[in-house]
Copies of this chain bind each other. A is one copy, B any other.
Amino acid sequence: MSRVEPDLSALAFSRHDHDRCTATALHQAEAQAARDGLRLTPVRRRALEILLEAHRAMGAYEVLDRLAAEGFGRQPPVAYRALDFLVSHGLAHRIQRLNAYVACLHPAEPHAPVFLICRACEAVAEAPGARVRAALEAGAAAVGFTVERASVEAVGLCPTCSAAG
């Protein structure tokens, strides 16, 4: 059994080299684009960078403001299209609960995202979801339902905020 789902789960909750994880994710995105013939155009790339730098979930309009400030279009579709592109290619994820988007920190790995959302500091971490998925699919299969996509989102307290009281 290969290590398909490395434990990067606590990343958003722990101290780490921000610039480095951003650079790595961007590098992986570029590699994937080159490999799959995706067009990581300026807006799309910049949108991904914005999400990576923020390192948290951002609303579409928030991303749009940043893009507009840098000379890109200032109308909603500009942001929504870039974000949709990123999401549809696994470079970012949509957090349903927050109507927001987060960059994926390990797009190269196949993974079934499970999100842990801290209600205090708003950090969003991606936890290993293989087991949750397995349980979900088993339950669905039992009633004849075929799962195509799933979103698993938990709201609670991250270690830091939990310790802070």
Contacts and interface: CB of A to CB of B under 8 A. Distances in A.
A157 B151 contact: no
- Count of this chain's copies in the oligomeric assembly: 2
A140 B152 CA distance: 12
B145 A149 contact: no
Contact of A116 (B9, B127, B143, B157): B143
B145 A154 contact: yes
Given A96-B96, A97-B96, A139-B129, A150 B152 contact: yes
A138 to B, nearest CB: 7
Contacts of A13: 143-145
B131 A145 contact: no
B143 A9 contact: yes
The binding surface of chain A is classed by DSSP as mixed
A148 interface: yes
Contacts of A138: 131
A156 interface: yes
Interface of A: 9-10, 13, 96-97, 114, 116, 118-119, 125, 127-129, 131-132, 134-136, 138-140, 142-159, 162
Closest 3 CB pairs of A and B: A144-B159, A96-B96, A10-B143
